Structure 1
């Protein structure tokens, strides 16, 4: 009966919201337009895929010695911390290991964009890197060298691999970091104690605190891993055609990708993500296309048009002219 009452309350509240929107649309069309546009922008930001922010290069000392690349990523789906004393959520993907040209592993960690914006402060950036590495040690049961460096590229591996890894991440407790270094065995015991003191039952997931330095009065800075409910879908690949447009002298100007999507009825059904070197188009429950581009493109200047009658999506991407200029090497 209680559940039924709650359902009735939800229906009533939904009816009130719709009535308010109808009234706004009738009496203040401009306010209604701005409100709807704001909601669309918020939804677009929320469903945007994770983007590379910074790549770290570290060294795994055990159980097997090899290089480790850590992709720190920005993802709006990871919630921001509620306050400085609340947990800083993160989402972590799997650890992928590759054998060539020499053994190395890749781990992807995503934070909310607001957390990474603080990376402009060197001390905050170092703290975030330190916490990320400590988290990796406990999450993947490895021992890392205390030294690490920033890689030249923002992302190690392909954009598709990183996004699939983060979307399939599973929750595990993060580690605890004390002010002074401590042996790994001691760290594990402290994690267990902190878990008993701080873990609380939650509807969707449980979290574990990660302690670090903070200013007086002393309050712990916390970090928690969240679980992503997204899973890569098995979607069919649509027919497509890639064309390089050149000027009269034969210089490549732009790439055009024509994608046939006959089952799509509205452009809002497609999610398009373009990086410098690849393109990812996803139409939930219908199509998925990932392309490695033959030329480096200016992703910010890319555009797309949807021809509804033909069921064709045309994507246009200007080619980076610097990549074609021999003097730029």
Structure 2
């Protein structure tokens, strides 16, 4: 008898998973409610975008000398190490060449779990070691020779916020982790384990093998086996409201999201010159704005009946 194909095997496991969840809902409704709440909280953290933390400035020595800026970013989507002796996961964007006036320089964005950066901020020796491992990652991954002298820039991010988010999200993001444990309740990992599923969602590449004797843990780059997400570009209308003297006051953006039932499903990212609207696995809209806006004063409302998101962005 031939072994079942992978799609059939996955369908069988999904069926078993739903069956176990149904049994939990019927046998222990309160446990089921808490379990689903934990998964929703984890999913919300997983969808949050990366944020800038600090920017390191150093130099590429070989193959050609130029300045290098390393944006260290916080991203809850990157898992924290399971123990102090485990390698530190990271997610990295591509090495990009840019120019500023007459200077040519390179930029790379590297994201760690926020707890990794917070703990090392409290211990300068550990922070220095994390930076050293970050340099080693860049050297080995891109076949470069770097100066290991550096300074922390006065700004937290080199380049635009939009470019950084695109850089990190364009690479292979880590899969969501559901690893919270509640007494006498099953987590999703435990349910998967009970089905005999092998965890293949995260593939990790071990780096810095030349420092394996170090008591401080190493670094791992996160790769993903997930299929790329496919988004629909929603219909939209952008208008500029003006006062009696024809001075621009606001940019209003109406986005039609008929498959969305709640504003909580929407992820909104606004900078001074662009806006990104995302609904995971459904919609994605990215637009350059015709005027600079005050992102802090921006408001968004969702008309559930019409399925329309209205974003009002004041023009300073």
Length-normalised TM-score, structure 2: 0.71
Q: Alpha-carbon deviations, 1:178-236, whole Å to 9, x = none? A: xxxxxxxxxxxxxxxxxxxxxxxx9453422436989xx96352211111457575753
Q: Secondary structure at the match of 1:76?
A: coil
Q: 1:14 aligns with which of 18, 24, 42?
A: 18
Greater alpha carbon shift after TM alignment, 218-227 vs 255-264: 255-264
Q: Secondary structure at the match of 1:17?
A: helix
Q: Secondary structure at the match of 1:227?
A: strand
1:99 to partner: Cα distance: 3.1
Name 2:180's counterpart in structure 1.
Answer: none
Q: Secondary structure at the match of 2:24?
A: helix
Distance 2:231 2:15 in 1: 35
Distance 1:8 1:285 in 2: 25
1:65 to partner: Cα distance: 1.6
Name 1:295's counterpart in structure 2.
Answer: 293
1:256 to partner: Cα distance: 5.8
Distance 1:211 1:5 in 2: 37
Distance 1:143 1:302 in 2: 44
Structure 1: stretches of 5+ with no match in the other structure: 172-201, 325-329
1:163 to partner: Cα distance: 2.1
Distance 2:120 2:286 in 1: 33
Preserved CA contact (<8 Å) 2:255 2:309: yes
Q: 1:290 to 1:68 in 2, by over 3 A?
A: farther
1:41 aligns with 2:41: yes
Q: 1:60 to 1:245 in 2, by over 3 A?
A: farther
Query: Which structure 2 residues correspond to residues 73-92 of structure 1 after superposition, within 5 A?
Result: 73-92=73-92
Distance 1:237 1:62 in 2: 46
Structure 2: stretches of 5+ with no match in the other structure: 174-198
Greater alpha carbon shift after TM alignment, 223-232 vs 151-160: 223-232
Q: 2:238 aligns with which of 241, 249, 259?
A: 241
Query: Which structure 2 residues correspond to residues 1-329 of structure 1 after superposition, within 5 A?
Result: 11-25=15-29, 28=30, 35-101=35-101, 102-121=103-122, 122-169=124-171, 203=200, 204-210=202-208, 219-228=215-224, 229=226, 231=228, 235-236=232-233, 238-241=235-238, 257-267=252-262, 268-274=264-270, 278-283=274-279, 284-291=281-288, 294-298=292-296, 303-316=299-312
CA RMSD of aligned residues (A): 3.8
Q: 1:304 to 1:97 in 2, by over 3 A?
A: same
Q: Secondary structure at the match of 1:136?
A: helix
Number of aligned residues = 277
Preserved CA contact (<8 Å) 2:205 2:220: yes
- Bigger RCO (CA 8 Å, 6+ sep): 2
Distance 1:218 1:134 in 2: 14
1:257 to partner: Cα distance: 3.9
Q: 1:251 to 1:245 in 2, by over 3 A?
A: closer
Distance 1:271 1:311 in 2: 15
Preserved CA contact (<8 Å) 1:270 1:282: yes
Distance 2:58 2:166 in 1: 22
Q: Secondary structure at the match of 2:206?
A: coil
Q: 1:6 to 1:272 in 2, by over 3 A?
A: closer
